[in-house]
Amino acid sequence: MEAKPRESRIVATATIAMNKDVPATLLKVQPILWYWSYLRRIDAASPLWLNRAHAFKFELKEKKMNASKTSEEMTKTRRSFLKTGLTAAGATVASGLLMHGTKALAQSSSSLTAGDVAILQFLAAGEALEADFYAQYNELGGIQDSEVPGGSDDRIYAEKLRRIDPNFSQYIHDITDDEMSHRNFLNAYLVSKGAEPVDMEPFRTLQGSIARGSSGKLRLTNLMQLTVDTSWWTRYRSSTNNPDVNQTTFEQAVPDLHNGQFTAIPRDNSDLFPHEHIQAIANTAAFHIPTVEQGGGSLRMELAQRATSVEVLRLLISMGPIESMHFQTMSATAGNAPPLTDPTNGLTFPDLNCGVDPNTGARGSAVRQMFQTDLIMPEPCPFISTSLPACSVIRPTNTTGAATGALKFLTAMGLFIGQSTAFFSFMSELATAADAAQRGI
C-alpha cells in the first residue's frame, strides 16, 4: 500500500493484533492520519484507548523524489515528524519524515525561527510536566479552589507540610497556578505565531496516589520513587566554585535522598502512619520542590542565550525569575524540615544547624556556614572567568546542552519512572532541537 504526498513517498505496513479490521479504504489515505483518527474513533469512550496503539506496528520508509535538490533544501524538507499522538502510540517514525499538509514540530513559522520554536516547545512540555506534579501536591497538601481545582486534601499530610512552614499549602497552590499559566501561555503563544503547540496529554498514563484526598487521575509524572539531588544547597553557598567555571562535586544537604528512591506524597492511606514516616514524606517534598525550581531558573537563562526573537528573549527572561522566586521561597522552606529518621526505611534528615557535615562528619565554622539553614542568600562565586572578581549569580547558565541536561537531570530524579519509550523519544527530540537552536542576528 502506498501513499504519495507531493514531496515524499511513504510505504507503510500495519499489523493489527486486536481482532478489529481496519477498513480497506483507510489504507488508501495517508497512513499517519488514518492511524491516529482511527484509534480515536474506535476507542474514544475509553480512558485507556492509547493502549490499543501498542497493537500496531508501523514501518515507514521515505524515498527522495527529486535528486536535483541541494542538501540545504533537503534539510528543510526532511523535517522530523514527531506528532505527540503518534509518538505516544509507540510508532517508530523514520528520521526526517515530513507529511504533506502536516506541521512538523520545531518548524519555522512566519514570525519565529525554527530554533525559537524549538526552545518554546521544549519549555511548554516542561511546564506541562511541572503543572502535573504540582497538581498532585496541591490535591493532597495544597489549597483546592477555582484557580487550582482537583482533589480534596489529605489532612494528615497537609498538617505535616505546614509543620515545616505554616504557609506551605499556600505556596504549593500559588506555584501550581504559576506553572499552569506558563504552560497555557507558551502553547497559546506558539499558536499565535503559526507554530505547533505541545500536547502532553497522550502521555498521561501513570497511576498516582490513591491516598485520601487524591483525585485518582492518571499522571504524567511520578512523585513516589524520587531520588533527590540536594547539592544545590552547597552550590549556592560556595564562594569558590561555579559549575560554569570550575567543575566540582557539591555536597548533598540530605545524602540519603540522593542514595535511594523515596515518595514525596502518601501513596495510599497506609503511608499516613506512623507520624515520623508521613513527616519524612513531607520533608521529601520540601527538598524535591526547590530541586526542580533551581533547575528551572537556570534553564530559562541558558536557553535565552539561544533565542533570536527579542520577544522570545523577553518571554524567557520574564518567566525565568519567577522560577527563581519559587526556588528562593522553597529553599528557605526546606531548611525548616525537622530532623528525623523514617522508621520504615531508615531515611534520615540531618540537623543542618549542628555544625556537622552530613556527608563526611567533618566539623568546624566553615562546615556550619555551608549547611546552616538561615544562610539562604547566594554567595558571590567565580563567573565567566576566575580572573574576574566573584559575582553573585544564578548558576549554572552555560547554554551548551542545556535542554538535554535538564531532561537527564529530571529523568535521574525518577520523575518519569513508568513512562513509555515513546515519551522519552518525544522529550529527547524536543530537547535536542532546543539545544540546536542558534541565536540569529
Residue 94 lies inside a defined structural domain of this protein: no
Residue 100 lies inside a defined structural domain of this protein: no
Mark which of 39, 73, 88 sits at the end of a domain.
Answer: 88
pLDDT for residue 108: 61
Residue 104 lies inside a defined structural domain of this protein: no
Verify that 48 and 132 share a domain, yes or no.
Answer: no
The total domain count for the chain is: 2
Residue 242 lies inside a defined structural domain of this protein: yes
**Cell numbers standing for residue 89:** 502510540
Verify that 71 and 118 share a domain, yes or no.
Answer: no
Torsion of CA 119, 121, 126, 132, to 10 degrees: 160
**Cell numbers standing for residue 217:** 487521575
Please list, in sequence order, all residues whose beta carbon lies within 8 angstroms of the beta carbon of residue 374, skipping any fewer than 6 positions away. Answer: 335
Q: Which residues of the chain have pLDDT under 70?
A: 1-110
Verify that 80 and 129 share a domain, yes or no.
Answer: no
Mark which of 53, 88, 123 sits at the end of a domain.
Answer: 88
Verify that 30 and 169 share a domain, yes or no.
Answer: no
pLDDT for residue 128: 98
Residue 98 lies inside a defined structural domain of this protein: no
Nearest to 53 by CA among 216, 221, 220, 205: 205
Residue 440 lies inside a defined structural domain of this protein: no
Verify that 262 and 363 share a domain, yes or no.
Answer: yes
Verify that 123 and 187 share a domain, yes or no.
Answer: yes
Verify that 84 and 119 share a domain, yes or no.
Answer: no
List the domain range (segments joined by +) for residue 28. Answer: 2-88
Verify that 34 and 135 share a domain, yes or no.
Answer: no
pLDDT for residue 61: 33
- CA dist 116 and 81 (Å) reads 18
Mark which of 35, 54, 88 sits at the end of a domain.
Answer: 88
- CA dist 153 and 132 (Å) reads 16
CB 412 within 8 A of CB 227: yes
Verify that 48 and 179 share a domain, yes or no.
Answer: no
pTM over 0.85: no
Verify that 171 and 247 share a domain, yes or no.
Answer: yes
Residue 428 lies inside a defined structural domain of this protein: yes
